[in-house]
Structure 1
Amino acid sequence: MTTQNLLVELFVEELPPKALKKLGDAFATVLADQLKSQGLASAEAVVTAFASPRRLAVHVTAVAERAADKAVSQKLMPVSVGLDANGQATPALLKRLGALGADASVVPSLKRAQDGKAEALFYDSIAPGVALAPGLQKALDEALAKLPIPKVMSYQLETDCEMPGWSSVQFVRPAHGLVALHGSAVVPLKVLGLTSGNSTHGHRFEAAVDPVVLKDADSYAATLLKDGAVIASFEERKAEIARQLAAAAAKVGGGCKPIEDEALLDEVTALVERPNVLICAFEKEFLDVPQECLILTMKANQKYFPLLDTQGKLTHQFLVVSNISPADASAVIQGNERVVRPRLADAKFFFDQDRKKTLASRVESLGKVVYHNKLGTQGERVERVRAIAKAIGQQLGGDVLAQSADTTAQLAKTDLLTDMVGEFPELQGIMGGYYARHDGLTEDIAFAIEDHYKPRFAGDELPRNTTGLVVALADKLETLVGMFGIGNLPTGDKDPFALRRHALGVVRILIERGLPLNLSELVAAALKAFGALVPNPAKTQELVLPFVYERIAGYLRDLGYSAQEVDAVIAVHPAWGDMVRCLDAVRSFVSLPEAPALAAANKRIGNILKKSEGEGEGAAVDAGLFVEAAEQNLFAAMQATVPGANAQFDAGDYTASLQALAALRGPVDAFFDGVMVNADDAALKANRLGLLKSLHEAMNRVADLSRLVA
């Protein structure tokens, strides 16, 4: 079977930059998978994706001109339907065979096989392999149909027929060229009103020739770079930009580095075909504005890379990734400096205007901003957060922390009313911290206002001080309880109010800071703050608690613990700060040879106690009632082991506590081998159940060991 490498390129107008990488990967993956499924390419074929602002392309190695023929076995119908009493073909069978291109001559060769309860007839044939042209046409159609297009646009094409006119085409951007090369041969394809060929277009301004003619599939990237001044590979272009950014920063000197932002790097990679990094600057007076504002406006509006010094402070210089490489770049540099200046001036104006009003003076205006039509205004929301924060603060630090948390909660949302946050919503909280300092508030409150949204995403840092932790916890609890209380629950992959993120934030704060707080009490405090706004508090608590515990389980599994280990620890509801240590203890326990038998025994004890319906519960174990040596030995072993294990548990050494209990394996096994718990004598039975109850409690202080049974 003859194979050649294949190249397919779709040349279009500028694609949406934030979607380019996904579009390029999807185009290559789907097209290659379709070729493989049709037998035109092997599973080992190497697939290379290309994506630039004006093209999507894919290179696939070892693609056949025609797929290999393959044997096909098709079920026809039950024997009772296809053959009459004399074994002759019925009209129904002959009609079915005719539809498959066969006739009565194949009837004797039809196979019989059991199909469920009935015997059926099967027709074996050889299906010819698909030729490359129709197979690739199908693959290309499928690749375009499955592109993750953010928004489709319609455009008109002149029809190529006897009746002139226009037809409407829908695609992410107007397409202007199609290349399909199998080796050096053009594969005839039609899509989006285009016919395939062997030529494309390079850089809009710097291509050496136009059109760029491709000799064969393998010369695509090299020819496009040489004749078209385009780096076709997204990853190669990205690496080149990163290299140039580092080189330009080194040229500036002083240990400066471009800001690290993978999303920005991807977006800029999708905006240029031939990157050229240039060094620009702005007036130093703008550095009086908080650097977060300047960085955000440069990144979001201009796609520039700010330069930071060795202390992480913004400098007055920045890097631009240009799409052209003139001999004299001064005009490009001056143009970018001229463009960024009004943006920075706007940021400075917003900052200066915002500081003319204190945060405290903005509190009343929050009452005019709608938070949710069922939950009132931002002002009412702030009052709820204040109530929750004061309750948590009182529990963790008394009046001082409660007052600090109350002040922070009252002011934390006021920066939503500032011009800067109105222009850059991403700066909410951050600007509140700056304005709090300007108003003369303490650093503790300023940091807390800045941090109260944290953690905002997976991996984000937690608030830096206790006041920030309290208000962040109160803010997230208010959101969870409020939204669950009015029925705005997340469904499937839809979570418009980011309730999963808020719940995970609660989990991280409680576990990573080891706060001595009870989740049920926290939810109850939040419900109290809502009053009649939550019509069914009991139902809301029933929904919120398991929702948060699901996030706990997921969080702990993400730390590397198994589902069984997590389930066992969560079942006993340890203190938040002890969860990880309990999990480490369980992991050490599981590695012991005694662990499987003790876990199984624990599960058996639990089942016995459950069936006994509380018999023996609360009764003191009477050693004088023991009859069997095995129960005497178990009691003696528990007296020798359990006090030490409990002391280690109380001291916080959960690993040693669990490992100490491993000594009970032998006595426990002997007990179940030689003792009948459900004895006829009621006193004897109650005594044995009491013994098992004591053992069960001792074994399950760190974790529910029964849940470790496979």
Structure 2
Amino acid sequence: MSTAPLILELFTEELPPKALKKLGQSFSETIEQSLKSQGLLTEASVTTSFATPRRLAVHLSAVLNKAPDRAVKEKLLPVSIALDADGKPTAPLLKKLASLGYPDVSVSQLERQGSDKSEAFYLTIDVAGQTLAAGLQTAVEQAISKLPIPKVMRYQIAPGTAQVKDVEFVRPAHGLLAVHGTTTISIEALGLQSSNTTIGHRFLSKGSITIAHADEYANSLEKEGKVIASYSARIAKIRDALNQASNGQSVLMPESLLEEVCSLVEWPVIYTCEFEKEFLEVPQECLILTMQTNQKYFAMTDKNGKLSNQFLIVSNIETKTPEAIISGNERVVRPRLADAKFFYEQDRKKSLLERTPLLSKVVYHNKLGTQLERTERVGKIAQSIATELKKNNPAISIELAERAAKIAKADLLTDMVGEFPELQGIMGRYYALNDNEHPDVAAACMEHYSPKFAGDALPNTNTGTILALADKLETLVGIWGIGLAPTGEKDPFALRRHALGICRILLEKKLPLNVCNLITTTLAAFAQDEVKKNVDVAVIHGFILDRLRAYLKDQSLDGKNYSTNEVESVVSQLPEVFNDVLDRLKAVRLFAALDESAALAAANKRIGNILKKVDFKIPETINHDLLSVEAEKSLAAALENIMPQINASFKAGNFTDALQAFATLRTDVDNFFNDVMVMDPNTALRDNRLALLTKMHTLMNQVADIGKLAA
């Protein structure tokens, strides 16, 4: 059987740009999987996906024109049903064989497998391999049915193209191309009959393009049709062309914008446009957002990050006289920028403080009241956090924290944020500075939303840090309290993200705040009885610890991520203060590298298991007069000897030294468990030995539960 490359293309009207990438990937992947499952692909076959605004296509190398024949073992019937009492074939068996096209096969030609009641007859059948035409027909139907279509269109096909009158698809389809090597494969889809022709660029190409060979598809489209069929090649060309046209400036090109623009053009051409410099008086975030969101333009900045009045557009038209295209785009963007300028000027006429009372008309949640009530709760929480932090940091200002909490949400009422919700906080900072608020208060208006996502920057200022914590705690406790805790994948209020933000702020800024106390303080700020009734401090603490686990597993030391056991050794102790958690984790890693660590971890785990089973009170002190075995005397003495060193290291926060000091105990611990019976029949000896183990276990677990390393 011969092989040849295969090209399959579905030509349509303009596909939805935000869905194009997924549509292209799904189309090519399903075609590949279907042909492979039918035995039509060889081991050497390579799949290449194509997607443009007007086509979905896939190229596969080394495709068979017919799949190899194969032997299929068909289960017939259990022996007990297939044979009668005399061992002759029954009517059900004969009927089964006839239905398979083998009426003359005798029982002796059948294979018996199994034993007793599970024994059955099997027939090995030679099945002819699928032809490419039939296999491709199946693959196309599967690919179309599995496309992640955002919204289906119903349309009527052109008269005479097929018998079907109504078709449902993402966009009207007008062409189907299927070429295997140089041969056109006959298939049908969406009322279309396949051919070896396609259509190039809507404006830059004339007439149809014949694909003489499957391998010529991409080149023919590019040379004759002015179409770059490869999505990845097209986006790479756009990125390179933007940088070349930047004239030394930096081009702002978020990946989402690049992908959307790539999905709008088949032959990308870059043109430089500009707007009046007077618009640069508006905060550049506003101008950038309106250019990117509304017009799909690429803004540029100088080396200092200041916005330029020049911007780049990606056109689908190549011309030697682009003046009309440039002027048209400049004319279109001008009203958008003028709107932004108008919003900015109008918003500044009213201070954030003046807007704050109007938050009483904005519902936050019907069970949690208005945004004004929320603002007041955040203010109380922020005051409490600032008061606690000020004990160790005199630079903390309680007044600034309260002021920031009061005005931080007021920008939600501005025209600019109403038009561009993504600018909340950003505009708050600009308007606060315009109102002559303290710089830290202005910064907190923006920073209290941080971190917005994994890896996002934390607040820079003390005031922003305090407000960010207060805001996230209020959201977490409030939403949890009205019964909207995350379930499974559902987390509409992003409580997991808020909990992770709390962890990161406390950890990375090393804040000496008690999480359970923070939750209790937050809960006290709510007047709603439902919240007070439903919130269990321990449950929310546990929820935050789950986020802490996930965060710590992504951290590393010397390029190696912390293991689950290492993380669990710290988190299993249910820490309420996170400022030293990373230091404890580092100490655990360094302790685990010691030769003695495995034995000590196992011993610690063993001690923990022994103490869990004790249902009576263990003495708080060790009676040295009751130490009778040399091994327990030696362990008690060694413990007394290193205790001052360990306690001093722990108090100084030197957790590594505190843990590594236990390495000297290995021999004494081993001897103890080899020579001493802990649960001695003599209750006095038993209790004294348990007191010794309790003391050692407590001392060992001050930094972390090293027994988890033996899990």
TM-score, normalised relative to structure 1: 0.96
Query: Separation in 1 of the partners of 2:638 and 2:86?
Result: 82
Aligned counterpart in structure 1 of residue 283 of structure 2, from 276, 286, 290 = 290
Aligned to 2:28: 28
Letter in 1 for 2:410: T
Shift of 1:184: 1.2
Deviates more, 1:700-709 or 1:342-351: 700-709
CA deviations over 1:113-165 (Å, ceiling 9, x no partner) = 22796222222222222111111111111112221222222222256599x8x
1:221 and 2:218 are equivalent in the alignment: yes
What SS does the corresponding residue of 1:35 show, helix, strand or coil?
helix
Shift of 1:502: 1.5
Aligned to 1:703: 704
1:36·1:43 contact (CA, 8 Å) conserved in 2? no
Residue correspondence of structure 1 range 407-556 to structure 2 within 5 A: 407-535=403-531, 537=533, 539-556=535-552
Aligned to 2:84: 84
Shift of 1:78: 2.2
- Across the aligned residues of Structure 1 and Structure 2, the Cα RMSD in angstroms comes to 1.8
Shift of 1:268: 1.0
1:617·1:693 contact (CA, 8 Å) conserved in 2? no
Residue correspondence of structure 1 range 561-640 to structure 2 within 5 A: 561-574=562-575, 575-618=577-620, 620-640=621-641
Aligned to 1:206: 204
1:589·1:659 contact (CA, 8 Å) conserved in 2? yes
What SS does the corresponding residue of 2:176 show, helix, strand or coil?
strand
What SS does the corresponding residue of 2:528 show, helix, strand or coil?
helix
Aligned in 2, Cα 1:437/1:614: closer, same or farther, shift over 3 Å? farther
Aligned counterpart in structure 1 of residue 183 of structure 2, from 179, 182, 185 = 185
Query: Separation in 2 of the partners of 1:106 and 1:264?
Result: 69
2:291·2:333 contact (CA, 8 Å) conserved in 1? yes
Shift of 1:668: 1.1
2:545·2:574 contact (CA, 8 Å) conserved in 1? no
Query: Separation in 2 of the partners of 1:593 and 1:101?
Result: 71
Residue correspondence of structure 1 range 163-312 to structure 2 within 5 A: 167-207=165-205, 209-250=206-247, 255-312=248-305
Aligned to 1:371: 364
Aligned to 2:46: 46
Aligned in 2, Cα 1:281/1:211: closer, same or farther, shift over 3 Å? same
Give aligned pairs, total.
Answer: 702
- Unpaired runs of at least 5, structure 2: 556-560
Letter in 1 for 2:548: I
Letter in 2 for 1:387: K
Aligned in 2, Cα 1:289/1:126: closer, same or farther, shift over 3 Å? same
What SS does the corresponding residue of 1:701 show, helix, strand or coil?
coil
Query: Separation in 2 of the partners of 1:477 and 1:42?
Result: 57
What SS does the corresponding residue of 2:581 show, helix, strand or coil?
helix
1:432·1:450 contact (CA, 8 Å) conserved in 2? yes
Query: Separation in 2 of the partners of 1:533 and 1:324?
Result: 63
TM-score, normalised relative to structure 2: 0.95
Aligned to 2:670: 669
CA deviations over 1:182-216 (Å, ceiling 9, x no partner) = 11111111111111111111111111x32111111
What SS does the corresponding residue of 1:204 show, helix, strand or coil?
coil
CA deviations over 1:438-494 (Å, ceiling 9, x no partner) = 101010000000111111112211111111111111111111111111111223322
Shift of 1:686: 0.9
Query: Separation in 2 of the partners of 1:101 and 1:232?
Result: 48
Residue correspondence of structure 1 range 385-404 to structure 2 within 5 A: 385-397=378-390, 401-404=397-400
Aligned counterpart in structure 2 of residue 383 of structure 1, from 376, 381, 384 = 376
Aligned to 1:96: 96
1:12 and 2:12 are equivalent in the alignment: yes
CA deviations over 1:621-680 (Å, ceiling 9, x no partner) = 122211111111211222233332332222222222222212222211111111100111
Aligned in 2, Cα 1:12/1:617: closer, same or farther, shift over 3 Å? farther
Aligned in 2, Cα 1:112/1:244: closer, same or farther, shift over 3 Å? same
Aligned to 1:142: 142
What SS does the corresponding residue of 1:531 show, helix, strand or coil?
coil
Deviates more, 1:15-24 or 1:635-644: 635-644
Shift of 1:348: 0.4
Shift of 1:535: 4.7
Query: Separation in 2 of the partners of 1:617 and 1:182?
Result: 85
Query: Separation in 2 of the partners of 1:654 and 1:370?
Result: 48
CA deviations over 1:389-433 (Å, ceiling 9, x no partner) = 111111112696332222111111110100000000000000000
1:53·1:270 contact (CA, 8 Å) conserved in 2? yes
CA deviations over 1:513-543 (Å, ceiling 9, x no partner) = 1211122121112221123343553544354
1:520·1:545 contact (CA, 8 Å) conserved in 2? yes
Query: Separation in 2 of the partners of 1:161 and 1:336?
Result: 40
1:258·1:305 contact (CA, 8 Å) conserved in 2? yes
Letter in 1 for 2:564: A
Query: Separation in 2 of the partners of 1:78 and 1:295?
Result: 73
